[in-house]
């Protein structure tokens, strides 16, 4: 009888132990739940996002899209850092994400070079890194899992094609170029693609070229200087983004010229506000660059965390818009 009682007690003890084994929380003596353990599958997955800054309408739209991630999937949490257009701030943010043991790091790099050391630190900490929007140049491709974003060179080529379609290859064009942030893949790629695109147009000359750092204020400042030195000579403005073009349009008007007529204005991004300038006849064309990357980032993070393969480069799909399409397209713009 005594033996039967001992066997019954041991069986019950084994059952209770088995019930708690593999469970993500430890049972305390009073039955309450304690802190979740590392095996707790109900714990939220954390993405640390190192953003460039808030320099343009495009950037504001990208930030808003990234910040939808926890709403799209409440099992995800987002930690967001604004780098204020400084690589050192972005490096600090990545180090902080590593210290906080986030599950995924997403980096939108202000410039292409100089990431090897910090990406190696993330790799050593076994935290996968997804590069978003702008590309990086690294010595070892295994330092990041994949890249989501636009083909910046293709965008530059599309700008060139807009000019060729409009003016023909034999036209004589004096082009002013306002570049984006020096050393960013957006600036490097758009400039390279554009130069390649006009290579067989012997009379297309880039007469002025300077950076406006992708901001409206600097775009205006740069164009003011261009107008002073070459105002009567320039007949095309190629701005690496819409915001700098909007600043430049103001400078052109202040210099007594008509943007969109005296100077053909073409830019990149496709923000709503620039569409209004096209509708008003002050800008002529834009090449779309899609900032709505939040859903793609979430999908990519999920694949990585599930141990599934991802594409090395998930390219954004983008169009080209001229002033002729602007009125019809304006109500459809999502950013």
Positions in the binding site for ligand AHR (CB under 6 A): 55-56, 58-59, 133-134, 186, 214, 241, 243, 268-269, 289
Q: Which helix (H) or strand (E) holds 52?
A: none
| Smallest distance, ligand AHR to C-beta of residue 134, A | 5
| Smallest distance, ligand AHR to C-beta of residue 271, A | 8
CB closer to ligand AHR out of 91 and 186: 186
Other C-beta atoms lying within 10 Å of the C-beta of residue 43? 14
| Smallest distance, ligand AHR to C-beta of residue 187, A | 9
CB closer to ligand AHR out of 69 and 268: 268
* Strand ordering across the sheet containing 146-149: 76-82, 45-51, 104-107, 129-132, 146-149, 313-315
The helix, strand and coil proportions of the chain, stated in percent and rounded to the nearest 5, come to 45, 20, 35
> Which DSSP string corresponds to 160-202?
HHHHHHHH-TT--EEEEEEE-STT-HHHHHHHHHHHHHTTT-T
| Smallest distance, ligand AHR to C-beta of residue 43, A | 33
CB closer to ligand AHR out of 149 and 197: 149
CB closer to ligand AHR out of 59 and 208: 59
| Smallest distance, ligand AHR to C-beta of residue 275, A | 14
3-state secondary structure of 313: strand
Angstrom CA distances, 206 to 202, 219, 318, stand at: 11, 17, 26
Beta bridge partners of 268: 287
CB closer to ligand AHR out of 161 and 205: 161
Continuous H helices in 24-115: 57-66, 69-72, 87-99
CB closer to ligand AHR out of 63 and 284: 63
Continuous H helices in 267-322: 272-279, 294-305
Using CA atoms, how far apart are residues 128 and 142, in angstroms rounded to an integer? 10
CB closer to ligand AHR out of 58 and 238: 58
Other C-beta atoms lying within 10 Å of the C-beta of residue 35? 7
| Smallest distance, ligand AHR to C-beta of residue 125, A | 27
| Smallest distance, ligand AHR to C-beta of residue 227, A | 22
| Smallest distance, ligand AHR to C-beta of residue 313, A | 15
CB closer to ligand AHR out of 58 and 321: 58
End-to-end Cα spacing for the chain:
79
């Amino acid at each position: 009888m005594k033996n039967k009682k001992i066997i019954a007690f041991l069986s019950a003890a084994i059952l209770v132990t088995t019930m708690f084994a593999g469970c993500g929380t430890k049972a305390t003596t009073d039955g309450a739940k304690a802190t979740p353990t590392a095996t707790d599958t109900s714990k939220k997955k954390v993405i640390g996002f190192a953003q460039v800054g808030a320099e343009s309408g495009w950037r504001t739209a990208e930030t808003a899209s990234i910040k939808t991630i926890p709403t799209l999937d409440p099992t995800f949490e987002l930690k967001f850092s604004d780098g204020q257009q400084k690589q050192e701030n972005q490096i600090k943010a990545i180090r902080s994400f590593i210290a906080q043991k986030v599950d995924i790091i997403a980096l939108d790099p202000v410039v292409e070079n100089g990431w090897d050391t910090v990406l190696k630190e993330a790799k050593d900490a076994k935290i996968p890194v997804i590069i978003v929007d702008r590309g990086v140049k690294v010595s070892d491709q295994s330092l990041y899992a994949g890249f989501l974003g636009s083909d910046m060179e293709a965008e530059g080529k599309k700008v060139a094609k807009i000019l060729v379609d409009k003016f023909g290859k034999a036209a004589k064009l004096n082009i002013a170029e306002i570049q984006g942030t020096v050393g960013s893949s957006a600036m490097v790629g758009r400039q390279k693609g554009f130069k390649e695109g006009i290579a067989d147009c012997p009379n297309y000359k880039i007469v002025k070229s300077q950076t406006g750092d992708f901001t409206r204020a600097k775009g205006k400042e740069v164009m003011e200087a261009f107008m002073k030195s070459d105002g009567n000579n320039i007949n095309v403005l190629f701005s690496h983004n819409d915001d700098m073009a909007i600043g430049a349009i103001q400078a052109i008007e202040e210099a007594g010229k008509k943007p969109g007529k005296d100077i053909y204005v073409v830019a990149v991004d496709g923000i709503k506000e620039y569409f209004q300038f096209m509708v008003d006849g002050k800008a002529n064309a834009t090449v779309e660059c899609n900032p709505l990357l939040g859903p793609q980032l979430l999908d990519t993070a999920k694949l990585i965390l599930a141990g599934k393969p991802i594409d090395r480069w998930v390219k954004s799909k983008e169009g080209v818009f001229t002033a002729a399409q602007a009125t019809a397209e304006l109500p459809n713009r999502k950013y």
